[in-house]
Every structure is written in C-alpha cells, then in structure tokens.
Amino acid sequence: MKQNTLYLLIGALVVVVIALGAYVYREQTKPKGVELKIDDKGISIQQN
C-alpha cells in the first residue's frame, strides 16, 4: 500500500510539472501587443 501511494505522488508531481511547463511555454510564445478578434459575438480588443 505504501509503494502505491509513492507511485501516485510521483505521478501527480510529474503531471504538475508538465502542466506548469506547458503554461509557461504558452505565455512566453504569446505575441505581444494588441489582439483584435472578430467573430459572431462582435469585435473584441485585448492588450497582451
């Protein structure tokens, strides 16, 4: 039982590290400036 808990904890930490890495990568590759979006809801302007 103790070994299964250890594997679960290690797996959870791996998932957290991967998710954090993906978030940081996405934030760093996001274009800087103003984003203009036109869709069926209308026009939206967002500053990055």
Write down the pLDDT at residue 14. 98
pLDDT of the residue at 46: 83
Alpha-helix runs per DSSP H in 1-48: 2-29
Could you give the CA distance from residue 46 to residue 20 in angstroms, rounded to a whole number? 24
CA gap 40, 15 in Å, rounded: 36
Query: What are the domain boundaries of the chain?
Result: 2-47
pLDDT tier for residue 48 given thresholds of 50, 70 and 90: low
- 10-43 confidence digits (pLDDT tens): 999 999 999 999 999 998 888 788 888 999 989 9
Say if residue 8's pLDDT is above 70.
yes
